[in-house]
């Protein structure tokens, strides 16, 4: 707007220059008529314009009345050359806050002599400056009001947008270890927060499941430790109730040794589980000859199998990448479990095969009664036993399969089971190949 106003103001003066050039060409030799034309030119404009005309020697030829009183000569700029007669003027303000646009130019009249004249012009631009000042003030006021309004709207929208987060926060604050069943997912949430609420609920599902497993583990552990400890205490009470013969003391100690062994196995297996389930634990996976490793395990348990009347078949070949000790522990646990559940005259098969370029499987199969389908998902839980009475009598504590699963997790592999009642049961260890 300011640029347009300035362009129009300079346009007024440029038009006046053209008019004066025509007037000088006709009346430059008649000062009286020249003065009348200048007076008329200044008053006919929509905005008052002051003129002063001098010849090339600086002699005054004509001027608008009272120009010297309003605008001292010293305030006019130096004249421009003819080639840049349209140069913009300068603004000047008097002590009455009246603003003038001042310009000084050299022009030639239209006569043959092409006489040069110095023209000093002053255009009263106070109304335009007032409009610009008012416009600037309005813009500032409007900008302030718009900024304040926008800020209030933003605050309101932000509070409305954060209200669901406040509700989510309130819900999460109500969730404790004893109230993990609460959930925050709700169709009322905006779509931007629905994913967050869903992810948070999935985390709560995992936490609830972990807490549930930890609670069951604690209960099972207390139960497993209480049984041998109670047996030791009862034996000690009975022995100490009266004087005993050395033979009776010996029998009591031998009986206690069985319970000590049971406690030792539980503690050893729990410590082993704690090590292999630690995510910071790193294993060195070495290339192992499948057939050779399976044969080693076969030799270790050959006597146990023969005593039970069970045949062990070892087959397969290939290379598996695993930590030797952990590999042997996993397969041994499965073999012991298979021998315990295989009746006399049955067989257990150890087989290794390369299924694909990136997968090697070790299968431990046994003939027997099988595992009911409904309990298959639970058999890898700690302290879970299909037949708790039989397991206790043989010293089992329900940690063997949990150890197998932890070893496979540590290797980045998987363990699965295929079984059904009165059918062959097969445990499958899947090792990935680097």
Q: What CATH number does the domain containing 344 carry?
A: 3.30.565.10
Token pair 């397991």 is at which residue? Answer: 391
Same domain flag for 324 and 395: yes
pLDDT at site 309: 92
Q: Considering only CA atoms, which of 60, 36, 69 is closest in space to residue 120?
A: 60
Q: Same domain for 259 and 355?
A: no
Work out the pLDDT band at 400, boundaries 50, 70, 90: confident
Are 213 and 332 in a shared domain? no
| Residues 309, 227 within the same domain | no
Select from 247, 276, 305 the last residue of a domain: 276
Q: Give yes or no: residues 254 and 360 share one domain.
A: no
- Please report the pLDDT score of residue 84 as a whole number: 46
Confidence of residue 391 (pLDDT cuts 50, 70, 90): very low
Residue 430: band (very low, low, confident or very high) from pLDDT cuts 50, 70, 90: very high
pLDDT tens by residue, 220-269: 667 667 777 887 888 888 888 888 888 888 888 887 887 788 788 778 77
Pick from 73-82, 99-108, 251-260, 372-381: least confident: 73-82
C-alpha distances (whole Å) from 140 to each of 135, 137, 143 are 9, 5, 5
Q: How far apart are CA 170 and CA 22, in angstroms?
A: 87
Residue 331 lies in a domain: yes
Pair (271, 290) in one structural domain: no
Q: Which domain holds residue 79?
A: 2-124
Is 182 among the domain residues?
Answer: no
Adjacent-strand bridge partners of 119: 53, 105
pLDDT at 149: 95
Q: Is 323 inside any structural domain?
A: yes
Calpha distance 199→264 (Å, rounded) = 42
Q: Is the CB of residue 51 less than 8 Å from the CB of residue 16? A: yes
Indicate the DSSP class of residue 368.
S
How far is the C-alpha of 93 from the C-alpha of 125, rounded, in Å?
10
Q: Provide the domain count of the chain.
A: 3
Query: By three-state DSSP, how is residue 182 classified?
Result: coil
- Judge whether 127 and 47 are in contact, CB under 8 Å: yes
Phi-psi region of 426 (alpha: psi -120 to 50; beta: other; left: phi over 0): beta
On whether residue 92 sits in a domain, the answer given is yes
Inside any domain, residue 155: no
Last residue of a domain, one of 276, 309, 343: 276
Same domain, 300 and 396: yes
| pLDDT tens per residue across span 194-221 | 787 788 888 888 888 778 777 776 776 6
> Where do we find the tokens 């110095």?
118
Let me know whether 424 and 338 are in one domain. Answer: yes
Position 393 pLDDT exceeds 50: no
Distance CA 202, CA 200 (A): 5
Task: State if pTM tops 0.85.
Answer: no
Any domain includes 420: yes
Domain boundary among 87, 106, 124: 124
Positive or negative, the CA dihedral 272, 276, 279, 281 is positive
Give the C-alpha separation, 383 to 222, whole Å.
11
Helices (H) and strands (E) in the chain, counts: 11, 12
Residue 389 lies in a domain: yes
Helix (H) or strand (E) holding 117: strand 116-124
Half-sphere exposure of 85 (CA within 13 A, CB side): 19
Residue 109 confidence (pLDDT) above 90: no
Q: Which residues of 15-31 are buried (b: 16+ CB within 10 A; e: fewer)?
A: ebbeebbebbbebbeee
Residue 321 phi/psi, 5-degree rounding, is -100, 110
pLDDT classification of 111: cutoffs 50, 70, 90: low
Q: Does residue 142 belong to any structural domain of this protein?
A: no
Q: Which of 97-106, 130-139, 205-214 has the lowest mean pLDDT?
A: 205-214
pLDDT tens per residue across span 181-197 = 777 766 677 777 778 77
Q: Is the domain of 19 the same as that of 89?
A: yes
**Average pLDDT for the chain:** 80
Q: Higher model confidence: residue 379 or residue 34? A: 379
pLDDT at res. 389: 44
Cα 324 to its chain centre, rounded Å, is: 40
Containing 417, the helix (H) or strand (E) segment is: strand 414-418
C-alpha span between 58 and 54 (Å, rounded) = 5
Same domain, 330 and 404: yes
Residues 203 and 232 reside in one and the same domain: yes
Q: Are 10 and 79 members of one domain?
A: yes
Which three-class secondary structure state does DSSP give residue 255? helix
């Amino acid at each position: 707007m300011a640029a347009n106003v300035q362009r129009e103001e300079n346009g007024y003066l440029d038009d006046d220059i053209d008019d004066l050039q025509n007037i000088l060409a006709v009346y430059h030799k008649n000062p009286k008529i020249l003065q009348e034309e200048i007076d008329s030119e200044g008053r006919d404009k929509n905005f008052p314009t002051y003129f002063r005309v001098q010849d090339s020697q600086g002699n005054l030829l004509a001027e608008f009345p009272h120009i010297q009183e309003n605008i001292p000569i010293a305030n006019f700029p130096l004249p421009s050359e003819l080639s840049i007669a349209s140069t913009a003027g300068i603004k000047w303000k008097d002590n009455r806050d009246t603003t003038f646009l001042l310009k000084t130019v050299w022009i030639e009249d239209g006569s043959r002599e092409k006489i040069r004249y110095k023209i000093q012009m002053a255009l009263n631009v106070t109304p335009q400056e007032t409009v610009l000042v008012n416009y600037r003030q309005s813009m500032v006021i409007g900008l302030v009001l718009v900024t304040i309004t926008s800020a209030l709207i933003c605050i309101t929208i932000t509070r409305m947008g954060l209200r669901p987060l406040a509700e989510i926060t309130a819900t999460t604050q109500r969730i404790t270890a004893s109230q993990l069943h609460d959930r925050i997912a709700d169709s009322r949430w905006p779509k931007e927060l629905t994913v967050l609420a869903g992810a948070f609920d999935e985390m709560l599902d995992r936490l609830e499941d972990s807490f549930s497993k930890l609670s069951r583990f604690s209960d099972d552990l207390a139960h497993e430790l209480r049984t041998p400890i109670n047996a030791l205490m009862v034996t000690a009470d009975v022995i100490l109730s009266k004087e005993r013969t050395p033979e009776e003391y010996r029998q009591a100690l031998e009986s206690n040794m069985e319970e000590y062994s049971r406690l030792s196995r539980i503690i050893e297996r729990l410590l082993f589980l704690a090590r292999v389930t630690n995510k910071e634990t790193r294993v060195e996976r070495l290339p192992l000859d499948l057939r050779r490793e399976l044969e080693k395990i076969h030799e270790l348990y050959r006597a146990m199998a023969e005593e039970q009347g069970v045949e062990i078949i070892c087959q397969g070949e290939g290379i598996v990448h695993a930590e030797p000790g952990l590999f042997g522990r996993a397969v041994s646990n499965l073999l012991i479990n298979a021998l315990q559940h295989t009746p006399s005259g049955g067989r257990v098969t150890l087989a290794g095969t390369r299924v694909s370029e990136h997968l090697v499987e070790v299968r431990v199969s046994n003939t027997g009664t099988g595992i009911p389908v409904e309990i298959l998902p639970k058999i890898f839980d700690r302290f879970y036993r299909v037949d708790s009475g039989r397991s206790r009598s043989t010293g089992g504590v329900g940690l063997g399969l949990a150890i197998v699963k932890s070893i496979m997790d540590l290797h980045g592999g998987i363990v699965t089971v295929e079984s059904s009642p009165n059918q062959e049961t097969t445990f499958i260890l899947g090792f990935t190949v680097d």
